[in-house]
Structure formats: C-alpha cells, structure tokens
Structure 1
Amino acid sequence: MVEAARVLVEANGYHGTGLKQVLELAEAPRGSLYHHFPGGKDELVGEALTVAGREVDRIVAELALTAPTPGDLVRAVLVALGDRMVAADYSKGCPVATVALEVAANNEDLQPICGGIYAGWQHALADALRVDGRDPAEAEELAATALALIEGALVLARASRSRAPIDQVGRRIGKLLAAD
C-alpha cells in the first residue's frame, strides 16, 4: 500500500489520489488500509513520503561517494532525478514537491514530514559544502539555494515535459557552488 500510495501521489498529487485507487494498485482489501494505517490517508501518504525521501537520500549518498565537488554532486543528483523523470514519461518529479505544494501549508500531519525531508536533503548538501571548505553558515545558504534550484528545475521540466531546465540548471550550478 505504501508503494502504491507513493506512485500515485507523486504522479497525481495528494488530492488526485484516492484510497480506492491505492487499494486497487496494491491489490489490497479495504480493511487492511485502516488496520495498518488507522490515521487514514494522511498516515499512509506520510509513510509514502518518508519512503520516497529515503530513496533520494540513498541517491545523494551514493553519488556523494564519487562526486569530486559539491557542484558535481548537485549535477549528478539532477541527472539521476532527470533520468527518473524521463523514464516515467514525466509522471515523476520530486517525490515530495507535489504534496508539499498542495497540502503542507495547512496539514499538520504532512507538513513536518515534507519539511523534515527537505531539511535532510539540505543538510546533506551543506555537509558536502563544508567538507569542500565552506564555513557552516555559507554552506547552509548555498545548500538551500542548490535545493531550490533542483526543485525548480524538476518542476519546470515536468511542466514543460522537457529535460532542458534540468540541463540548464546543471550547467550553471557548478559555477555557483565552486569554491572561491
């Protein structure tokens, strides 16, 4: 059910995903939903977001092992997420953004999950920048900027059904993150 919710929510958004759809995709009986997720849709979506966030965490961690600079890391993350998007015919973008844009502002259950996932990604990028010699405050600010560029590129690419925004940001991010 978690994987089904993850797939549907990323493609259709929170409001565009019904529990009946999730159960059909998961081939699960209705009673199992409330047995495993007594908090209903929000609890299920929260778990789906957490799993999706961990997937991106793994991608970033694996790429960080071979990326020589923070700029290379961000470019590699963009390429990986762009490849994932294109392979899904643009039905996938950021696994968190759709829910964050739709409901995080007024949903007390999902907002901390979305915020926590983004904070973790920003922290991972800031760590790479600190290792590269940036002071902590500058590293946090640059990491927030890089994350905003990644998210923006994914949204623009998905909206235009074109990889061009991802490639454009990828070409510029290295200059922004280059150590002085």
Structure 2
Amino acid sequence: MASTRERIVTATAELFRRNGYTGTGLKQIVGRAEAPFGSLYHFFPGGKKQLGAEVIREAGLPYAALFDIYIASADDLVAGIEQAFAGAGETLVETDYADACPIATVALEVASTDDGLRRATAEVFEAWLATGTEACSTFGLSREAARALAIATVTSLEGAFVLSRSLRSTEPLDAAGATVAARARELLSTSAGSARHPRG
C-alpha cells in the first residue's frame, strides 16, 4: 500500500495534469489522497510551492523513460516516433482527454511568475531531452541532430496535447507524429551512418 507521502504526490500529479497548478487546491489534494490535512505540511513544510516542485520532479522525470520504451527499443527510429505519438493519442482517448503531460500545464503557468517552479520544470524537460538525445543517437545521428530531433519530438507532443484536448480529437497528435517522423527520415537520409549503433 502506498505511503501517505506517495499518495499526496500521486494525487497532486493527477490534479496538476487536469487542473494545472493554480487550479489545484490543497483541500483537493488531501481529499484525493485520503490524507489528513496536517500530513501535507508534515511532508512538505514549504506548502504548495515545495509540494509543486517535488511533484514536478518526481512525476515528470519518469516520463523520460518513454523515449526508451518507444524509440530506443524500436528497430526503426521512424516507427518508434510514430508509435510514441500513437501511444500518446491512445492515452488521451482512454482518459477522455483529461490526462496529458504532468509538466506542460504547470510550466505554462509558472514560467514567468515563479522561478523555483520554473527551474523544476526546466530540469525535467532537460532530462527528457537528454534521454531523447541518447535514444535518437543510437540510430546513427550526430549528437546535434539527435538533440534537435528530441526537441522536435517533445515540443510537437506538448503542442499537440493542447490542441487535442481542446478539439477532443487525436488529429493534432497524428499530424504532429507524421511531421516529426518525416523529419527523422530526412535526418537519417543525410546522416553519414544511418545504421543502428547499440548503446555502449
């Protein structure tokens, strides 16, 4: 059974995905976590800001593993990218377009208003890009090209999430996935070594 702290973190991450940072109240968090109100300040004496920063890091960093799940483990880079976007679309449909990225919603709110939370989101995004760069580089891309493709993947996913949730359609994710996949084909075709290079 999850500990009280784990329940608070999980509940907060879920609420951030759906309601954003400012739209999530402490009473909502402890209610969803089924935790005493005082326990929140016991584990997070800095209140909502400390909780927010820790949730961003704890909930966001595991998402970097999606690059390994969909791309690094694929036999083909283009197919891996297509599968990543398709998987994102399936998740949106399964959750009735409620659950998307746990970080982007918060990042948009706090980028210019709270530097501590902005730094937390930046750390997570940079971790995603680092993992994505490693995953893409295993297909023979230069580090520069691999990072550019990782950036294109993350930015396209995040933008498509916004449109898909608003339109209640996976069309934006499908289109974004096709665009990034096409860019991957271009990079592979111009790469000096387009053959797969296993990680060392």
Q: Does the Cα contact within 8 Å between 1:70 and 1:125 map onto a contact in 2?
A: no
| SS, match of residue 15 in structure 1 | coil
For the aligned residue pairs, the C-alpha RMSD in angstroms reads: 1.6
Q: Comparing 72-81 with 106-115, which one deviates more in the overlay? A: 72-81
1:163 equivalent in alignment to 2:170: yes
In structure 1, which of residues 42, 64, 77 is the aligned counterpart of residue 84 of structure 2? 77
Structure 1 or 2, whichever has the larger Rg, is 2
User: Which residue identity lines up with residue 135 of structure 1 in the other structure?
Assistant: S
Unaligned regions of 5+ residues in structure 1, if any? Answer: none
Partner of residue 10, structure 1: 17
1:177 equivalent in alignment to 2:188: no
1: CA distance, partners of 2:90 / 2:49? 29
Identity of aligned residues (%): 35
Cα distance per residue 1:130-165 (max 9 Å; x no partner): 221222222222221222111111111111111111
2: CA distance, partners of 1:28 / 1:143? 38
| SS, match of residue 99 in structure 1 | helix
Cα distance per residue 1:7-37 (max 9 Å; x no partner): 1111001111000110111111111111100
Aligned pairs for 1:80-91 within 5 A: 80-91=87-98
User: Which residue identity lines up with residue 21 of structure 1 in the other structure?
Assistant: Q
2: CA distance, partners of 1:143 / 1:15? 29
Shift in Å, 1:74: 2.3
In structure 2, which of residues 27, 34, 39 is the aligned counterpart of residue 27 of structure 1? 34
Per the normalisation by structure 1, the TM-score is 0.92
Unaligned regions of 5+ residues in structure 2, if any? Answer: 1-7, 190-200
Per the normalisation by structure 2, the TM-score is 0.83
Q: Does the Cα contact within 8 Å between 2:152 and 2:180 map onto a contact in 1?
A: no
Shift in Å, 1:64: 3.2
In structure 2, which of residues 49, 54, 63 is the aligned counterpart of residue 56 of structure 1? 63
1:142 equivalent in alignment to 2:114: no
Q: Comparing 121-130 with 55-64, which one deviates more in the overlay? A: 55-64
